[in-house]
Chain A
Amino acid sequence: MRRFIAYPLVALGALGSTLVVAAPALAHGYVSAPPSRQALCASGAVADCGQIQFEPQSVEGPKGLKSCDGGVAGFSVLSDESRDWPAKAVAAKATFTWVMTARHRTSNWEYFIGDKKIATVDGGNAQPDAVVTHTIDLSAFPGRQKVLAVWNIGDTANAFYSCIDLNVGASGGSGGTIPSTAPSTTKPAPAPAPTPTTKAPAVPIAEGGAGWAPGVAYRTGDKVTFEGKTYKCRQSHSSIRSWEPSIYTLALWLPL
């Protein structure tokens, strides 16, 4: 969305200063499960995606494209087939979930494999729910496939695009996804080491008295040091940016 900021300032600045507010406030939607390429970027499963990792909901372009990136130059990573996108194993009847951050009136949703349209779901020109699921029959397309899912907006010329890499019918699985194997979270590793993975988040377990770091599973009672002070964890959590010990996070960290 950042790319929308500069332009309106120039083009419409004359309309008055309050009008330039909030250009990024209206965003959109993407396929969250099975994970679309932008969801894989946003979850960190695929690294070095650029801006799309911060706004997976923004792959918007004119209707009628057959493009994973919606024609947005800054999101071209989504069309980069050399990125080795992990394919999610799904059953022949797969359930696709859309997350909507702005619920635009919807003409329809379309699903493509290659140039072939495999499903259309009517949106009735109504505002969709915040979370929309579609069960799509992929039984004619076993094995590795790239599905292009398109959300056609009812009251604009635009659509939102999500590409989802799948391994169809490879094994059982219900609800469109395969249960993951047991999560491996037993290794005592203090480093945040954000290794790209499509498996369950393998969050390192905290080591007593080590420096605070993001991406660590802290438990109530754990102690960390941060900027020369020692803190005790008051509420178990996996640490993230801005949850470091501070006056803002007294609910998580008690200064000792």
Chain B
Amino acid sequence: MRIRHAAILIAAALLLGACGTAAEAPPSQAPAAVQAAVQAEDGHNDTDVMYLQMMVAHHGQGLEMVRLAEKNAKRGEIRTLARAIEVTQRDEVKLMTGWLKQWSAPTTVDHAPSAHADHGGLPATGPEEIAALKKAKGPAFETAFLNLFIAHQHNAVEMAHLETKQGSNAEAKAFADRISASRADQIKQMLQLLNS
């Protein structure tokens, strides 16, 4: 177990190194047109920034998947869930990008979340997973979507734990707690839909 923990920690450090600094010049943004509904305090650390950046990217993939589900799922329950996830996650993206802009941090990571392959395992969703989902049809689509999105939301919970343990900004941590709860419950619903 010691080896395992060490490996995780080293991987975590690499991951932080890769994502946490993100010191590149932010792309010139128009002054925050989208006013965040919830204001975050200014105080924050690298984990807060990294978490929000990674979640913005993660949400981008998630929105792509739920839009496919709204179009291609046969069961109304799945389409409804997908639509509700889309509207809530769109607002979450506005919130997160608003906070990042407020902190003068880039709102994008400089690489895909899947770039962490060398750190001990790819996250669930990469471009090829979304490409495969686009090709799936009929009942196979629902199965593919539910499984892929379950894994995707498990990743969201894992990232939220990182933030609640190591972030410093109270609003960002509270936001991570909300993500953690909503995604766990979405997984619960999707496992029910998968096996019903």
Query: Which B residues are in CB contact (< 8 Å) with A232?
Result: none
Residues of A within 8 A of B188 (CB): 42-44, 240
* Distance A247 CA – B6 CA, assembled complex (angstroms): 41
Complex interface: chain A residues within 8 A of B13 (CB):
18-19, 21
A175 to B175, CA, bound (A): 39
B110 within 8 A of A: no
Determine if B83 is an interface residue (Cβ-Cβ < 8 Å).
yes
Query: For the side of the interface on B, what is the size category?
Result: 35 or more
- Would B5 and A7 count as touching, CB distance under 8 A? yes
Confirm or deny: B185 has a beta carbon within 8 angstroms of a beta carbon on chain A: yes
From the candidates B90, B132, B162, B179, name the one contacting A25 in the complex (CB within 8 A).
Answer: B162
A201 within 8 A of B: yes
A238 touches B196 (CB 8 A): no
Checking A25, A32, A214 against B158 with a beta-carbon cut-off of 8 angstroms, the contacting residue is A25
Query: Which of A4, A26, A99 contacts B121, CB < 8 Å?
Result: A26
A18 to B16, CA, bound (A): 8
The residue of chain A having its C-beta at the shortest distance from the C-beta of B162 within the complex is A22
Contacts of B7 in A (CB 8 A): 156
Nearest opposing residue in chain A for B91, CB measure: A251
Assess whether B72 is interfacial by the CB under 8 Å rule. Answer: no
A134 within 8 A of B: no
Known: A23-B165, A44-B188, A156-B7. 12 other contacts (CB 8 A): A7-B1, A15-B9, A19-B10, A20-B12, A21-B12, A23-B12, A35-B195, A101-B155, A104-B121, A127-B122, A248-B38, A249-B91
**Chain B residues packing against A (C-beta within 8 Å):** 1-2, 4-13, 15-16, 20, 37-38, 46-47, 77, 80-81, 83-84, 87-88, 90-92, 95, 117, 119-126, 128-129, 132, 139, 143-144, 146-148, 150-151, 154-155, 157-159, 161-162, 165-166, 175, 177-179, 181-182, 184-189, 191-196
